[in-house]
């Protein structure tokens, strides 16, 4: 049997050392939790991938992981796209998106880790490196934060060398409260740090237009997910009237929204989520389509993967940074002076600490 075939595949839960209840415009999140996939090839190489699970649907996720594991054992890690297609064929009856796509994606990431390690290369070198660093911004600004917590977070990012920060909008108290928080952040970080806002689909068109009009006075760089992600006509109208860059894409499991929004000239930045898109191939396919429409790529959440992949494309706009996994992996992503520097070591360049993992019994 080939040394690059998958012999073992296990799944684990992990919780961030920074775990705390947080909230955005559409979700109350009780804990910051992850699922980790760990495979071993016949040649003894270990590959890992992880997904951000929070507290949502633990039983459904376990079922999806069990189904994917049954397809992954014996598959060659070099054939990642073939694995993706095999999963999609098997999952078509109940739908090959949603939780099944997430489960496929976390195994795809582990396969890429092992494939690159077998080749003795980093993932970005295996794909084709075009740069060694990408811009990074500090994310968070949760609506559940007090003013003091919000101020401490954004000033902490600036003190660490970040040149851009993002905060949540869509406060229950209304747009006036959103503007207060934006003003607080601008006063805290000064005039030279870029600020972005993220509504997590929590506004309607009228509210988004009102907030965009008031936010422009504070030099907002982009407005993320102002509307429900299927409201293509709303995004087109907002883009025409708002006078501010729009970013969208993190909720997408395929390229339909990107094609629809690009055809309408309705967004400025494409935000692929590597897990929802099913792994590396889905991310790269979306980046290629975005490039055809002159839309820079601004990925959602997964800095440990996104920084490496952004180094393989020509139009990366930046990478989102949370510190959530840094305390439970061996080599956190190096970030200095507003830039992320992916590791040059084989694979993704990091692994989860065994002490942080609890095995999922499927």
Three-state DSSP string of 42-76: CCCCEEEEEEECCCCCHHHHHHHHHHHHHHHCCCE
Cβ-Cβ contacts under 8 Å for 128 (sequence gap 6 or more): 312
Considering the domain architecture, whether residues 216 and 259 belong to the same structural domain is answered as yes
Q: Do both 225 and 131 map to the same domain?
A: yes
Length of the chain: 362
Answer yes or no: do 115 and 130 share one domain.
no
Same domain, 248 and 320: yes
Q: Is residue 157 part of a domain?
A: yes
Mark which of 93, 120, 147 sits at the end of a domain.
120
Query: Is 116 in a helix, a strand, or coil?
Result: helix
Query: Do residues 228 and 333 both lie within one domain?
Result: yes
Residue 241 lies in a domain: yes
Last residue of a domain, one of 70, 98, 120: 120
Give a yes or no: residue 354 inside a domain.
no
Q: Say if 231 falls within a structural domain.
A: yes
How do residues 190-247 score in pLDDT, each as one tens digit?
A: 999 999 999 999 999 999 999 999 999 999 999 999 999 999 999 999 999 998 999 9
Q: How far apart are CA 331 and CA 72, in angstroms?
A: 27
Nearest to 286 by CA among 275, 270, 302: 270
Question: Percent of the chain having pLDDT more than 70?
Answer: 100
**Domain interval for residue 231:** 126-341
What per-residue confidence (pLDDT) applies to 125? Answer: 97
In a domain, 350, yes or no: no
Neighbours of 198 (CB within 10 A): 25
Alpha helices in the chain (DSSP H): 58-72, 80-91, 99-119, 123-127, 147-159, 175-189, 205-215, 232-242, 256-263, 280-292, 303-310
| Nearest residue to 112 (alpha-carbon basis) of 75, 82, 74, 77 | 77
List phi, psi (to 5°) of 230: -95, 0
209-236 exposure pattern, b = at least 16 Cβ within 10 A, e = fewer: bbbbebbeeeebbbbbbbbeeebbebbb
Q: Does the residue 348 lie in any domain?
A: no
Show the DSSP H helices in 216-360 as ranges. 232-242, 256-263, 280-292, 303-310
Is 131 found in the same domain as 113? Answer: no
Answer yes or no: is 356 within a domain. Answer: no
CATH of the domain at 45: 3.30.390.10
Of 346, 355, 360, 362, the C-alpha closest to 120 is: 346
Pairing mode, if any, of strands 339-341 and 358-359? unpaired
Closest by alpha carbon to 166, among 210, 215, 204?
Answer: 215
Residue pLDDT, tens place only, 74-128: 999 999 999 999 999 999 999 889 999 999 999 999 999 999 999 999 999 999 9
CATH classification at residue 183: 3.20.20.120
Shared domain for 253 and 104, answered yes or no, is no
Whether 27 and 161 share a structural domain: no
Query: Could you tell me if residue 28 is inside a domain?
Result: yes
| Same domain flag for 134 and 35 | no
- Which has the minimum average pLDDT: 1-5, 30-34, 194-198, 329-333? 1-5
pTM of the model: 0.96
Furthest-apart CA atoms within the chain: distance in Å? 64
**How many domains would you assign to the chain?**
2
Residue among 88, 119, 128, 127 at smallest CA distance from 4? 119
Q: Are residues 182 and 263 in the same domain?
A: yes
Cα distance between residue 105 and residue 111, in whole Å: 10
- Same domain, residue pair 105 and 130: no
User: Cα 72 from chain centroid?
Assistant: 24
Q: Which of 120, 138, 166 is the last residue of a domain?
A: 120
- Checking if the pLDDT of 285 tops 70, the result is yes
Co-location of 76 and 147 in the same domain: no
């Amino acid at each position: 049997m080939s040394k690059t075939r998958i012999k073992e595949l296990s799944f684990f839960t992990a919780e961030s050392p920074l775990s705390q209840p947080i909230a955005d415009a559409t979700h109350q999140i009780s804990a910051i939790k992850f699922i980790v996939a760990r495979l071993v090839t016949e040649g003894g190489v270990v590959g890992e991938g992880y997904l951000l699970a929070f507290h949502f649907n633990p039983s459904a996720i376990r079922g999806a992981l069990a189904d994917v594991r049954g397809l992954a054992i014996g598959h060659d890690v070099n054939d990642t796209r073939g694995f993706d297609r095999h999963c999609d064929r098997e999952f078509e009856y109940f739908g090959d998106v949603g939780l099944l796509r997430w489960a496929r994606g976390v195994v795809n990431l582990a396969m890429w880790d092992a494939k690159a390690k077998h080749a003795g290369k980093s993932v970005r070198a295996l794909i084709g490196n075009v740069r060694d660093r990408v811009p990074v911004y500090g994310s968070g600004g949760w609506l559940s934060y007090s003013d003091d917590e919000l101020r401490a977070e954004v000033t902490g990012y600036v003190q660490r060398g970040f040149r851009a920060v993002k905060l949540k909008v869509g406060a229950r108290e209304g747009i006036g409260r959103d503007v207060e928080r934006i003003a607080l952040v601008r006063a805290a970080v000064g005039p030279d740090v870029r600020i972005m806002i993220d509504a997590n689909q929590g506004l309607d068109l009228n509210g988004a237009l009102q907030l965009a009009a008031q936010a422009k006075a504070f030099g907002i760089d982009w407005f993320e997910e102002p509307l429900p992600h299927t409201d293509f006509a709303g995004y087109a109208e907002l883009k025409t009237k708002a006078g501010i860059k729009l970013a969208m894409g993190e909720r997408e499991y395929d390229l339909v929204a990107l094609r629809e929004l690009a055809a309408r000239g309705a967004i400025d930045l494409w935000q692929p989520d590597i897990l929802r898109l099913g792994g590396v191939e889905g991310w790269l396919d979306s980046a290629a389509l975005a490039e055809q429409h002159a839309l820079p790529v601004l990925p959602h959440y997964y800095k440990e993967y996104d920084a490496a992949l952004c180094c393989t494309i020509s139009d990366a706009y930046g990478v989102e940074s949370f510190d959530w996994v840094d305390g439970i992996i061996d080599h956190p992503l190096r970030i200095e002076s507003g830039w992320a520097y992916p590791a040059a070591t084989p694979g993704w360049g990091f692994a989860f600490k065994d002490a942080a993992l609890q095995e999922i019994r499927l």
